[in-house]
Amino acid sequence: MSAGKTGLTHLNEAGEARMVDVSAKPRSARIAVAQGCVVMGAETLALCLSGQAKKGDVFAAARIAGIMAAKRTSDLIPLCHPLNLSRVDVDIKADERLPGLRIKATAKTTGETGVEMEALTAVSVACLTVYDMLKAADRAMRIENVMLLEKTGGESGDYVRAD
């Protein structure tokens, strides 16, 4: 089964996994934004916001973990290209309606391939770090709604999530 028949670019003509050759693609500015949520009990959110979590500053640890994860995406996700990231931001906001934390990551590069996986990896690892930092207080926490919100640049054009 060929890549053309499946639409999957990570398969060769024999249907075997391969890393896509992006060397002929033009370099362009690329940005991706992803988000995720960690839903927790109201008491756990209050603990997090108080700065009294036993493991330390939840926000700082999750932010750094997300940034580090974005930089290591190609080591974690098979067939991802290593990218020269020019920017990674991880923004964490409390949301008492969840209750929990909303995490948004922005990744930016100028290159031949997009940064969606880097933004999604940053959000995922930041969420996992929040869980790890607070699990002693609330093992029932849930990581939810990890998704790409938008991306710009590249041949496929821009994407903005409709919902």
What CATH number corresponds to the domain at position 130?
A: 3.30.70.640
Question: Considering the domain boundaries, does residue 19 fall inside one?
Answer: no
Give the pLDDT band (50/70/90) at residue 8.
Answer: low
- Write out pLDDT tens, residues 69-126: 999 999 999 889 999 999 999 999 999 999 999 999 999 999 888 899 999 999 999 9
In contact, 92 and 66? CB cutoff 8 Å: no
Render pLDDT for 42-60 as a digit per residue (tens, 0 to 9): 999 999 999 999 999 999 9
Tell me if 17 is assigned to some domain.
Answer: no
Domain presence at residue 7: no
The single residue of 91, 132, 138, 158 carrying the catalytic annotation is: 132
**Residue 18 domain-assigned?**
no
Q: Is 57 one of the annotated active-site residues of the chain?
A: no
- Where helices occur in the chain by DSSP H, the ranges are 3-6, 42-50, 58-71, 73-76, 116-134
Tell me if 24 is assigned to some domain.
no
pTM above 0.85, yes or no: yes
The reply to whether 96 falls in a domain is yes
pLDDT for 116-128, tens place per residue? 999 999 999 999 9
Task: Kindly state whether residue 160 falls inside one of the protein's structural domains.
Answer: no
Best CA proximity match to 109, nearest among 135, 80, 136, 130: 80
99, part of any domain: yes
> Structurally, how many domains does the chain consist of?
1
- Residue 142 structural domain: 29-153
